[in-house]
Chains A and B, each alone.
Chain A
Amino acid sequence: MYTILSNERISEGIYLMTVEGQFQARMGQFYMLRAWNQAPVLSRPISICNMEKDCIQFLYKIAGEGTRLFALLRAGDSIQLEGPFGNGFPDVQGRTALVGGGIGIAPLLYTAKQLDNPDIYLGFRGQSYMTEAYEPYANELIVRVNGNLLYDLDMKKYDNVLVCGPLGMMKAAALMAEGLDTKVYVSFEKRMACGIGACYVCSVMNKNGNRKVCADGPVFLAEEVEWHAELSL
């Protein structure tokens, strides 16, 4: 059990939870969060948004019952955390861009802090949020609201592009990099049960067969993902 230091609403349906404790995790990994006993049955996989010496932060969007319950938590309340789980983003070298769409910006803050001043592209519908937190770690920060963020991205400028956002956006980034030397890494979100690789409910189709988002991912090389299988379902 950990103690919540704060849980602020920072935009419509978007919250930032700060939990006290010393954590060690890689950029792009996630924790399974739980703030209830029996219902809902499943814990919720939430990526690491930020870590400081004495706390960890989770940026989340209310998307269902679990996140709705998270949003009701107050400073001083308890929360269970298991993790960190997943592979996280690789230690990339060279010119790097981080691309986040909507709540997909969440894992990119801690990632930006680990990398050497990447360019950061953040896209939103309706209104932007949290962008000021990314600014200190960005070589260049590009924010776009209600447009196609990928129009702003010149793939060939980069050796690596790390993307987290809607499936369609991640696929589009994968297509843009075809034929280029740019490596695109995408961070997936799937409904999970165990979060540790035992139950096989969060599979994603990959050119080499099924992969578990929780244990083999959530980060995959975009060129290895069978996008048609993911988007047709």
Chain B
Amino acid sequence: MRNLACNVAGIPFNNPIVMASGTFGFGQEYAKLYDINKLGGISCKGLTLHPRKGNPGARVWETAGGMLNSVGLENPGIDAFLEDEMKFWETIEPVKIANLGGSNIEEYVLGALKITKDAEERRKQNQRAVDMIELNISCPNVKEGGMAFGVKTAVAREVIREVRQVTSLPLAVKLSPNAENIVDMAVMCEGEGAECVSLINTFSGMKIDIYQRRSVFHNMYAGLSGPSIKPIALRMVHQVAQQVTIPVMGMGGIASASDVIEFIMAGAEVVQVGTYNFMNLRAGEELLAGIRSFMELENIQSLDEIRGIIQ
């Protein structure tokens, strides 16, 4: 039996496959297709303090080797998440990551407080609860907040510092490739006490309808994901992993088991899988099988043997 176990901030993951925020909902839909208890973790649909309707108009556009999305953080809000979605999350095993967005610092802080309080109460009653907060300072699809916090290190520092003070949960910060300097950003996160950085979120991109003579997106720009961004994501994960001591969740265009291995060799502790869930609705199952067969083939007992070997 090969050992796929990973660990982020003292939280054990059965394996390195974590489903990325916004592509997996809360997991219920995929649970009808395969056993999602096999997954290492799930980062839920991005949550905000208040419910959000998301963006009007086109929300998706396929690109060469990828896709643009402009969902705009449509979500039921944290109260509804804790009330409704947690009922399902209580029943599943993967590490539960609450992805938290906000339009201003107060929203991030109040959101983190609610999630933390709920998790503490559930733990007291020996129930499964949110294991970790992933702070989304990198969503390119909301006019205010989101990526606005993820571009400049000084601005991001304020959010992270405030949230760090109000949560006992391990804190991951999801970084934007649109940051002025993603390595500085990651180093700052570690300095502010974040237990993990996850990267990368989508690239800000664009699609023009040349007949209508306008952007296909109401918000003009949208977030690019998918296999086409993988080489850049991998480079960024590698650069960041060289400069921080906290674990890195690597993501960006993963679409095969060999992609997962590349991210781990670049230094990621675990990986997140996003767009590939759309390409293959049973992505989790297939990636795990592929990782195991690679480990057999290369006679690797534990992922620690290959993690970060590219220096």
Contact = CB atoms under 8 A, between A and B. Distances in A.
Q: Do A and B come from one complex?
A: yes
Contacts, number: 97
Contact of B279 (A42, A64, A233): A42
Given A38-B227, A41-B66, A210-B74, A199 B278 contact: yes
Q: Please report whether the interface of chain B is mostly helix, strand, loop or mixed according to DSSP.
A: loop
Interface in A68-103: 82
B277 A42 contact: no
Contact of A193 (B30, B64, B227, B278): B278
Contact of A199 (B25, B57, B63, B66): B25
Interface size class, chain A: 20 to 34
A193 B274 CA distance: 11
A163 interface: no
B71 A199 contact: yes
B33 A82 contact: yes
Contacts of A38: 65, 227, 255, 279
A201 to B, nearest CB: 4
Contacts of B58: 191, 233
B277 A203 contact: no
Among A65, A197, A201, A202, find the residue whose CB has the most chain B CB atoms closer than 10 A. A201
A197 B65 contact: no
Contacts of A193: 23, 60, 67, 69, 275, 278
Interface size class, chain B: 35 or more
A167 B307 CA distance: 52
Given A38-B65, A41-B65, A193-B67, A198 B30 contact: yes
Nearest to B71: A200
Given A191-B61, A203-B59, A233-B218, A41 B74 contact: no
A192 interface: yes
A32 interface: yes
Contacts of A233: 56-58, 218
Contacts of A196: 29-30, 32-33, 281
A209 B51 CA distance: 11
A19 to B, nearest CB: 18
Nearest to B53: A210
Nearest to B277: A194
B59 A197 contact: no
A200 B45 contact: yes
17 contacts: A38-B65, A39-B65, A39-B227, A41-B275, A41-B278, A42-B62, A64-B62, A82-B281, A192-B60, A193-B278, A195-B281, A199-B25, A201-B59, A201-B71, A202-B60, A215-B29, A229-B56
Interface of B: 22-25, 29-30, 32-33, 45, 53-54, 56-67, 69, 71, 74, 218, 226-227, 255, 275, 277-279, 281
